[in-house]
Amino acid sequence: MEKNKILIAYGTRYGATTSTAEEISKVLQGEGFDVKVVNLQKDKVKDITNFELVVIGSGMKMDMWTTKAKAFLKKFSGEFKKRKVAIFVSSGGRALMEHKGELDEIDRITKKYLEDKASKYGLNPISMTMFGGVWDYNQISKIFRKFLDAEKENFIAAGIKETEPGVYDTRNWENIRAWAKELASKI
Ligand SMILES: Cc1cc2nc3c(=O)[nH]c(=O)nc-3n(C[C@H](O)[C@H](O)[C@H](O)COP(=O)(O)O)c2cc1C
């Protein structure tokens, strides 16, 4: 294992986790770490022995991690016990739950998306967190469009920004950068 080497490996469906992972990488590099970012939808990770810290990320859909991110957790669960790991998920749903005051739902998803995943794979992460995500009307299938059309007024009322036509981004970039900076201090 080499000091200072970090792997960020993530799964994504709509692309939000890609830009979140890149922002985390930028901050960690600024803190002096050597960071490799792998999009598990496109590339395979053969070996993690070189990395001091592995950051695993996944976008959420219907309460599920991506298949590739789950497979990555499974493949290296033994190796993860020998090094530091951190987990983040991209959740577009959380901002809507916050807006509606659904605190029980937030507790439920925090447990299901993060805590249950860590315990399922026997991980003891140095940090786990949930960031926002994107609701991209241009990429959504017809079945889900109805649901999203009904939510549109909630996006606007919750102050969620339309960053491009049809794209609502619930992320708070300051939070993402602050998390990455704190992570750097824990390594
Ligand atoms: C069909 C669909 C289902 C979704 N289900 C959930 C969900 O169960 N929980 C949640 O927090 N966000 C949900 N979202 C919002 C996603 O978390 C958001 O799009 C996020 O950006 C996904 O990460 P990705 O862009 O990296 O794929 C859903 C989005 C879509 C389009």
Assign 62 to helix, strand or coil.
coil
Residue 106 falls within a domain, yes or no? yes
How far is Cα 162 from Cα 170, in angstroms, rounded to an integer? Answer: 9
Residue 138 falls within a domain, yes or no? no
Residue 43 falls within a domain, yes or no? yes
Residue 153 falls within a domain, yes or no? no
Q: What is the dihedral of CA 129, 160, 147, 61, to 10 degrees?
A: -20
Query: How many domains are contained in the chain?
Result: 1
Give the whole-number percent of the chain exceeding pLDDT 70: 99
Distance from residue 114's CA to the centre of ligand 1 (Å): 15
- Written as six digits, the tokens of 115 are 């805590």
Residue 147 falls within a domain, yes or no? no
Residue 179 reports pLDDT greater than 70: yes
At 1 the pLDDT is: 65
At 92 the pLDDT is: 95
Distance from residue 63's CA to the centre of ligand 1 (Å): 8
Residue 49 reports pLDDT greater than 90: yes
* pLDDT tens per residue, range 145-169: 888 888 888 888 888 989 999 899 9
Residue 151 falls within a domain, yes or no? no
133 Cβ below 6 A of ligand 1: yes
What residue owns the CA closest to ligand 1's atom 15?
Answer: 92
Residue 100 falls within a domain, yes or no? yes
94 Cβ below 6 A of ligand 1: yes
Enclosing domain of residue 18:
5-133+171-186
Task: Using alpha carbons, list the distances in angstroms from residue 158 to 97, 99, 122, 125.
Answer: 10, 6, 37, 31
DSSP 119-138: HHTT---SEEEEE--EEETT
Element (H, E) at 90: strand 84-90
* CATH number for the domain harbouring residue 99: 3.40.50.360
155 Cβ below 6 A of ligand 1: no
Mean pLDDT for 45-66 is 97
At 185 the pLDDT is: 95
* pLDDT tens per residue, range 114-127: 999 999 999 999 99
Mean pLDDT for 1-5 is 79
At 45 the pLDDT is: 97
Residue 143 falls within a domain, yes or no? no
What residue owns the CA closest to ligand 1's atom 6?
Answer: 61
